[in-house]
Structure 1
């Protein structure tokens, strides 16, 4: 267990809670695969869910069911009223406790966690180590799909925890704000990795890669290590932190750790991230 946050649940604790009437488990997996043009192709994790998932887990398809279908960009956040209805239809409601997991990387679970937080729902946790750790411990799997009953959900949202390019651009050079890149150091420097348009980073930003926050077992690193990583780039608790990545996914793991584990209260994610920023020549970038 990487920490004692209520927003992180161990495989042992989930196993103990299995069968609880209010429990709602969701597999949130999407896979990103390199395409022939050097950019990612997004693939739903539904096929692997059908081959084996945690018993009682339903599948959440981020792109098909929880993203703005009118957007030309992948994974764009839909209007919060629409998103609230979508979550309720999937079984998220008052009195439920939601556990989110994904395969290969926790960033897909953290994206859904951050979206739930945006609509005002806080009774959710990420499974530490996800499906990888569950399977490594030889815990049971199911192949029969689960569909949770629709629920009622009416909350006060937090639209401020997602920001747009105008807000991010306005924060450049502001001493009270830290802009943080959750992509790899090579992508940050513009020296390698998948690009989303122009290579490099948002001008003035620092880097804590989401992939550096968890180990080979996909479990989050010890909380002392996480704190040191963010303190090392100046992410003080009194600063506003704006996090971005390629498409608003990896950034949510940085945001999750800062908010749920380290106690930061002023963290936002740039939703469309580099897939938008790097393709707009009017927006400043740096390399090196």
Structure 2
């Protein structure tokens, strides 16, 4: 049995010592670039490796990219192997933000055709709530022999988004908070607001009050209300930099919806060009 979307703390506990399981700590702080690795070093789930958002799950930002561009395919393929992942490996990702960052690794593994990947439901908090131990010990693993290929049709570039929005042929879903989308939050983004025509479905709406993923039928109804009769292949997910949009993509998979697309550059790329239109309000 493989886990492909979510895994509970109890389920993870039963498989964590299996040879074909790889666990990744994806904790991250936008305001503190060292926050993730420092938290990992202070204590993490046993057998976990740290997956760094800025250096392993992203390429370096360029003058025209968003904040977290995807690595080149061959670079990430080598990273997968360096982590000790094979094609039969069960990959588990977790963070301390109910999957907001772990979902990026989940999506990237799926991007490479690896569906044996899941996010820890409720994150690190649910692990410790069960009384399960943390460790500060690193592990050393042999390189993996993973063989996969990135599906470039799963992501769209900024020119495609602009063109298809103008033609009214796509549904663009923004996973940022309502305050960031509406521009009530004047501090988080260098330019507050949203792309004209985008709909706002914050990733937090995918969650129960305790930070676990909401039931599939609840999530499905939430997205279908916005998607309506739009073909799923024409639905594009975005956020600030292509990270929390992956939580919406994860939630869509939990709900049994077909794979939709990711605008990796997202808002942080859109606003690099001052000539692009910006909308405010709800």
**Alignment-derived partner of residue 47 in structure 2:** 56
User: Does residue 1:204 correspond to 2:197, yes or no?
Assistant: yes
Aligned counterpart, 2:16: 18
**Are 1:246 and 2:240 an aligned pair?**
yes
Q: Deviations over 1:155-174 (max 9, x none)?
A: 13211212111111122155
* Structure 2: segments with no counterpart, 5+ residues: none
Q: Number of residue pairs matched?
A: 277
Counterparts of 1:84-123 in structure 2, within 5 Å, are: 84-123=77-116
Q: Secondary structure at the match of 1:218?
A: coil
Shift of 1:107: 1.4
> How has the CA–CA distance of structure 1 residues 43 and 244 changed in structure 2, closer, same or farther, with 3 Å as cutoff?
farther
Inter-partner Cα distance in structure 2 for 1:69 and 1:141: 31
Q: For structure 1, which segment, 124-133 or 211-220, has the greater mean C-alpha deviation from structure 2 after superposition? A: 211-220
Larger CA deviation: 183-192 vs 236-245: 236-245
| Deviation (angstroms), 1:51 | 1.5
User: What TM-score, normalized by structure 1, do the two folds share?
Assistant: 0.88
Q: Which moved more, 1:229-238 or 1:182-191?
A: 229-238
2:226 corresponds to 1:228 = no
Structure 1 CA distance for aligned equivalents of residues 236 and 125 of structure 2: 29
Contact 1:98–1:124 (CA under 8 A) maintained in structure 2: yes
Q: CA RMSD in A?
A: 2.1
1:137-176 matched pairs, under 5 angstroms: 137-174=130-167, 176=169
Unaligned runs of 5+ residues in structure 1 are 34-40
Q: Secondary structure at the match of 1:62?
A: coil
- Distance of aligned partners of 1:235 and 1:10 in 2 relative to their CA distance in 1, 3 Å threshold: farther
How far 1:235 sits from its partner (Å)? 5.1
- Contact between 2:173 and 2:235, CA under 8 Å: does it hold in 1? yes
Q: Please point out which of 177, 182, 192 is paired with 1:184.
A: 177
- Aligned partners of 1:271 and 1:17: how far apart in 2? 32
The answer (yes or no) to whether the contact 2:216–2:256 under 8 Å persists in 1 is no
Equivalent position to 2:58, from 64, 67, 73: 67
Checking the alignment, whether the CA contact within 8 Å between 1:63 and 1:75 is kept in structure 2 is: yes
